[in-house]
Amino acid sequence: MRCSTHRHRAGWEAEAASVVDEVKAMNKEEEPIVVIRKRLQPMMYNNVYRILFDQRFESDEDPLFVELKMLNGERSHLAQSFEYNYGDFIPVLRPFLRGYLNICRRVAERRSRLFKDQFVQIRKKLVSMEEATEKCGIDHILEAQLKGELNEENVLCIVENINSTGIETTLWGMEWCIAELVNHPDIQTKLRLELDMVLGPGVQITEPDIARLPYLQAVIKESLRLWTPVPLLVPHMNLEHAKLGGFDIPAESKVLVNAWWLANNPDHWKKPEEFRPERFVKEEAGVEVNGNDYRFLPFGVGRRSCPGILLAMPMLGITIGRLVHNFELLPPPGHSNIVHSSASTFRTTPPFS
């Protein structure tokens, strides 16, 4: 699938703009708190569904969005449950997992049916009736199916995969970044100053601007370092026997890479427990998110690294940039900061009020 970043950026910018407009339109007396997940989650679905299906959800009450979010949530919950882990690591206990595996199967079937009936088939119909104006991600995947390179199951697996890997991960990245900015008003002010100086007061950030905003990039990197959204990456498997650091790793082992520890090991980072974006403009200025330094692998590295990095980084930059430029992000009333278990609630005021 060819996903040109620039082709889709207008959509992400429009989605971020509508979040800003909605929050500005809220009555601060009646609703003094913004539950940011309620705004950013539909935005992230729209960002991804625009690319994949050229489709967006009008509101978080759209029944299709509600069902999709519920089923994706169930899948995510099952993948993070205790049962998932013990079955993978202690195979002899697998017979006790029958009930759990049945639920997994049912959720997988319901999700697959939803993706097929409500998205893939509808898109096929639009294309066959020549009502689709522009090609989107799924069109390329369906072309590969027509050529015999993929079968229907493969197509649905790709849709499933993007739903599981692309939406919540980026949302978590946004939420942690916002929480750290709320807890570090000095850093928030410095970032707003950069936006004002480089773009001009009130000029809204667009994707190409990100390259001219080194402090914004540093804030995002620092947040991904301290709050790595996928801390153990995705499990890998070595096909052949390997020796690493004096350890023997038998062929076909499940290998988990602790990317969070690589990025937070005090032997390799100066005061890693501190949220200090300056490190990425000073002593760690050469460290990028693309895996050019093995201490920092938020998207993995190599052949199986995250293909969504080209989408996630601009989405993060546009969203964080617009929120900080338009609002002062504050902890909820009665709190002096955001405790990490409630990172999705904050309060806004227009900046400098």
Of the candidates 19, 28, 118, the one whose C-alpha atom is nearest the C-alpha of residue 59 is 19
229 vs 351 by CB, closer to ligand HEM = 229
Q: Which residues contact 100 (CB under 8 A, 6 or more apart)?
A: 78, 81, 83, 84, 87
Between CA 223 and CA 180 the distance in angstroms is: 7
Query: Judged by CB under 6 A, does residue 11 bind ligand HEM?
Result: no
In the bound complex, what is the minimum distance in angstroms from residue 327's beta carbon to ligand HEM?
22
Among 306, 318, 320, 324, binds ligand HEM (CB under 6 A): 306
Q: How far is CA 125 from CA 117, 119, 128, 132, 246, in A?
A: 11, 10, 5, 9, 57
Among 16, 230, 318, 329, binds ligand HEM (CB under 6 A): 230
105 vs 304 by CB, closer to ligand HEM = 304
In the bound complex, what is the minimum distance in angstroms from residue 82's beta carbon to ligand HEM?
22
19 vs 171 by CB, closer to ligand HEM = 171
Query: Judged by CB under 6 A, does residue 320 bind ligand HEM?
Result: no
Among 81, 165, 258, 290, binds ligand HEM (CB under 6 A): 165
> Is residue 177 within 8 Å of residue 219, measured between CB atoms?
yes
Of the candidates 114, 111, 155, 118, the one whose C-alpha atom is nearest the C-alpha of residue 1 is 155
Among 155, 159, 216, 312, binds ligand HEM (CB under 6 A): 312
* DSSP secondary structure letters along 266-296: TTTSSSTTS--GGGGTTTTTT--TTSSSTT-
Paired sense of beta strands 253-255 and 34-35, if any? unpaired
Of the candidates 2, 4, 25, 22, the one whose C-alpha atom is nearest the C-alpha of residue 14 is 22
Q: Write the DSSP symbol of residue 335.
A: -
- CB atoms under 10 Å from CB of 205, counted, come to 23
Q: How far is CA 213 from the centre of its chain?
A: 21
Rg, C-alpha atoms of the chain: 22
168 vs 284 by CB, closer to ligand HEM = 168
Span of 67-75, 94-102, 188-196, 303-311 interacting with ligand HEM by CB under 6 A: 303-311
Between CA 140 and CA 305 the distance in angstroms is: 21
In the bound complex, what is the minimum distance in angstroms from residue 77's beta carbon to ligand HEM?
19
Tokens 């020796």: give the residue: 243
In the bound complex, what is the minimum distance in angstroms from residue 353's beta carbon to ligand HEM?
31
Among 46, 169, 183, 223, binds ligand HEM (CB under 6 A): 169
Span of 67-75, 95-103, 178-186, 293-301 interacting with ligand HEM by CB under 6 A: 293-301
Using CB positions, name the residue nearest to ligand HEM.
Answer: 308
Among 46, 112, 170, 188, binds ligand HEM (CB under 6 A): 170
Among 156, 233, 324, 330, binds ligand HEM (CB under 6 A): 233
Residues annotated in the binding site for heme, as ranges?
A: 306
Task: Give contact residues for ligand HEM (rule: CB under 6 A).
Answer: 48, 161-162, 165-166, 169-170, 173, 229-230, 233-234, 298-300, 304-308, 311-312
